Amino acid sequence: MFDAPFSSYQRSRGRARVALGATGALTGLFQQGSAKAMLPRTHGPLPEVVFLNTSGGLTGGDRFQFSLDVAAGAGAMAATQTAERAYASPDGVAEVSVSLSAGEGATLFWLPQETILFDRSGLDRRTEVTLGEGARYLGLETVVLGREAMGERVETLDFQDVRVVRDAAGRVIHAEQIALGSGTLAGRDRAAGLAGASVLASLVYIAPDAGDRIGPVRAALGDAPGCAASAWDGRLTIRAMGRDSWDLRRALIPAIRLLTNDHLPRVWQT
């Protein structure tokens, strides 16, 4: 009986939800399974929310949900405690859903740390954001294909990442999707593909002053290779790609500081 093959693998499940009231005080907290939320003591103008996955990474069959609600007129900066890692999946893909909402005139900065995708990993992630009238939102996602310093090269992958931002009436005001599979990676060195990049970052800033920020943001990016910014219709976006996650983060930090009034999550600095 001890030689019999396992019919199933142990899977991780987790849900974490945080709600902040008009003064920024905690009004709701729910934690279940391997998903946790922390509110570290800070001295800045915005409360910080840190989400974490205590199971140590993601693999096929894992299911996680993270949620943050910021009341009208309030503000918050949210991040993940460390880089999330998606490991080789012998069966299926991991699923992660992120739900964010900011009420009328609220401010919400979503600055998770990098997502590292290892060879043969599978991850399906969906981020849904709802913004009230006059709300200000900054969202960043960075994807790392293996660890360059360790000589890792990702050849087989199943990664889907969908991000949708809606107004309070449900109208889509921003949407994007990244799909990376083995076929994409086969041409990763071509200029029409990833041009040899192993780190990809996407930033979106949605606010009444988004169009006015494009000049200063481009100046903040300077001549950083692989970075470009554009703005239209109340949105500002930055796309960046490179071969080193630290170099890419360092290139983006001046622009992020500009858009957040010189604030970064504390977990980025530890």
Pairing of strands 199-206, 172-181: unpaired
Per-residue pLDDT of the chain (270 residues; tens, 9 = 90+): 455 554 466 789 999 999 999 998 999 999 999 999 999 988 778 999 999 999 989 999 999 999 999 999 999 999 999 999 999 987 789 999 999 999 999 999 999 999 999 999 999 999 999 999 999 999 999 999 987 666 678 889 999 999 999 999 999 999 999 999 988 888 888 877 788 889 999 999 999 999 999 999 999 999 998 999 999 999 999 999 998 889 999 999 999 999 999 999 999 875
Reported pTM = 0.93
Contact between residue 207 and residue 231 where contact means Cβ atoms under 8 Å apart: no
